[in-house]
Amino acid sequence: MATPMSASTFVSVLKREGVKVSERYSGWRTHNRNHKGAWGGVNGVLIHHTAGRDSRSLCYNGRSDLPGPLCHTHLAKNGTATMMSAGRANHAGPVARNAHDAVVAERSTHPRPSAASGTVDGNAHYYGIEIENLGTGKDPYPAAQYDTAVRWAAAICRHHGWGADSVVGHKETSVEGKPDPSFDMNRFRRDVAARLRGPASGGGSVPDSIEKELAAMDKKTAYHTFWTGDYAPAPKTSSTIEDNPTWMPISVLVGNYEQTSRARDDIQAIAEQLSALSKSVAALSAQVAELAQQTQ
């Protein structure tokens, strides 16, 4: 059991691990549910998916029946980690005692959560991240998003001296039948363990599991995953960046082609004008030369 990180420490360890941190909500450092129960000691990291789109404000403000914050960090498709809280958050709910004990002991096997084993207050003992995803199994986790989730979990584990078996999915702890996250937690823990074997850094490659997943894709799926994913950040000079902050790579490629084609046509037209002008200048020079001879 460990003492929870302060807000400043939280941000520091995430950035050291290469996480792109956003402090969009100025009050996040004191935004918590500490008045409703304990926060700490902490024992582990809990992974969720949002089961919706554009869930960032919901994660911060909560719902009428469940006040925010609903996690400690919200993770967008483009890999931006927005801080929600540095204290108690409404995300874990009751955690099965047998699942909790496995986390505390850092067992490599995580049992199916059993209500019969009793429950503990998960909101007191777990850091939580909400990853933007529908959770349907068809909504992809872009490499930037998945890699950041791995870094986020690894950063917390590294700070507290925990191993990857301190990381669990909500589906592995919930006595209420929660299904999140929709990806394989054993694979996720392997990727966290791989990151923990090296030093904290902003560099690093895509996890092996993602590389294998991409390699296994058929061409059509790979095409749609990469080219039609609306995740690429818009250029800072874009006039529409406020209401259109992310672009599809295919739109950038087509736009570049169209601009290049227009530029090529413009250059050709200018070249033809210059050629005509050059001929006119040559003709005028010949006339001047002839006139000069006549006046001698």
The arithmetic mean of pLDDT across residues 43-48, rounded, is 98
Residue 42 phi/psi, 5-degree rounding, is -100, 150
pLDDT in tens, 67-120: 999 999 999 999 999 999 999 999 999 999 999 999 999 999 999 999 999 999
Confidence label for 257 from pLDDT (cuts 50, 70 and 90): confident
The arithmetic mean of pLDDT across residues 115-135, rounded, is 98
Quote the CA–CA distance of 129 and 180 in Å, as a whole number: 11
**DSSP percent split of the chain into helix, strand, coil, nearest 5:** 45, 15, 40
Q: At CA 23, angle to CA 161 and CA 170, rounded to 5?
A: 50
Count other Cβ atoms within 10 Å, centred on residue 221: 12
pLDDT at 205 over 80: no
Quote the CA–CA distance of 242 and 163 in Å, as a whole number: 40
Q: Give strand ranges (E) for the chain.
A: 20-22, 44-49, 73-75, 80-83, 94-96, 119-121, 126-131, 167-169, 232-233, 246-247
Q: Which residue has the tokens 């929870």?
A: 4
pLDDT at 230 over 80: no
Write down the pLDDT at residue 61. Answer: 98
pLDDT in tens, 167-184: 999 999 999 999 999 999
Taking all residues of the chain, what is their mean pLDDT, rounded to a whole number?
90
